[in-house]
Amino acid sequence: MNATLAFDRRQAAPTDDVAAGAPPSRIPDDKTLLRTAAELSRDLHAARPAIYWIDLLASVTVGYGALAAAILLPFGVPAALAFAVAVLALYRAASFIHEVSHMKHAALPGFRLVWNLLAGIPLMAPSFMYEGVHNLHHTRTRYGTIEDPEYLPLALMKPWSVPAFVLVSALAPIGFLLRWGVLTPLSLLSPRLRRVVVARYSALAINPRFQRRAPEGAARSLWHMLEAAASLWVIGLVAATVTGVLPLKAFLVYLATISVVMVINQVRTLVAHLWENEGEAMTVTAQYLDSVNVPPPGLLPFLWAPVGLRYHALHHLLPGLPYHALGEAHRRLSAALDVESPYHKANYRGLPGLLDRLVRSTFAAR
């Protein structure tokens, strides 16, 4: 769903050598980087179905098994550990929505449907909320502009914007319940409300100005099918809780799991980019430098940036690569490109330093 907070923007001081030399929107394309990336990744574009299926099925199996344990166990350390495992495993499963939005579905027949049945609908975030939205973020002339659904100049905003950005995500389960359980059925009775629901409440976006266009063709049919399924899921879940069929504890643990998953994802989003562009169109190299890789040897990104998201900058350079190929592409590019190449300037050590950088940038703009 769209963000609803309007954050204040201000001019910020440059925070790295590249930005100090030129604003992000004026960084030219590095032809060597683009050519080398294309050449070295030519054999990596084929998705490997076994990896996708095993990863997804293992994630949901562990996730829902741990969720059941967290519900059934009495409050205590074992239940807390089960809850933590459920959050991390279901977060990984949910993160496949990013792959679903990029993949050629003929290469992985049935994967989108199964993902929606096992993760998208149960976690109240079906794939149409991201498909047709995320691809706009990768459009050459939209990235970092007012038309980008997934960009805000956070580094140029007030310091309170960062914690507010995270806290809003904690309320996502409430928003999802309202979207699917209330707005969906009511919008069927009101064309005017329906237009608002489609434009404002049908995208996993962070830009509060973004308004989505109504789907057409096959996308429209898929949208309606998944929306109906999500609505029935939520209405059934609430009805089961109200009537006592589903214990209140189970319902609350379920909502808490989704809330923590959304918070982790929002924190990851905070460090996915440097958020330093002021709205101008950017070159591919500039987009890459405004994005973040957190490559090995760090191990924790495997948990908070799963399914290839630790190579977010590389993904912007080569958006067609499947997640399992990003590590190999990174190794090849790191070895082939000179240490002065822009490629190495988008690699960072970990989450704490990136968060510190972002927070310091907001204070520097005061």
**What digits encode the pLDDT tens for the residues 254-297?**
999 999 999 999 999 999 999 999 889 999 999 999 999 999 99
Q: Is 311 helix (H, G, I), strand (E, B) or coil?
A: strand
Handedness of CA 115, 118, 122, 123 (dihedral sign): negative
What is d(CA 60, CA 358) in angstroms, rounded to the nearest whole number? 33
Interatomic CA distance for residues 335 and 329, integer angstroms: 10
CB 316 within 8 A of CB 138: yes
Tell me what pLDDT residue 127 has: 97
Q: Assess whether pLDDT exceeds 90 at residue 338.
A: yes
pLDDT of residue 366: 58
Residue 293 phi/psi, 5-degree rounding, is -105, 140
Q: What is the mean pLDDT of residues 301-320?
A: 97
Distance of CA 303 to CAs 84, 116, 172, 267, Å?
Answer: 11, 22, 21, 12
**Per-residue pLDDT, 8:** 37
Question: Is the alpha carbon torsion for 274, 8, 365, 13 positive or negative?
Answer: positive
Residues 196 and 65: their CA atoms lie apart, in Å, by 38
**296 upstream amide cis, omega within 30 of 0:** no
pTM: 0.92
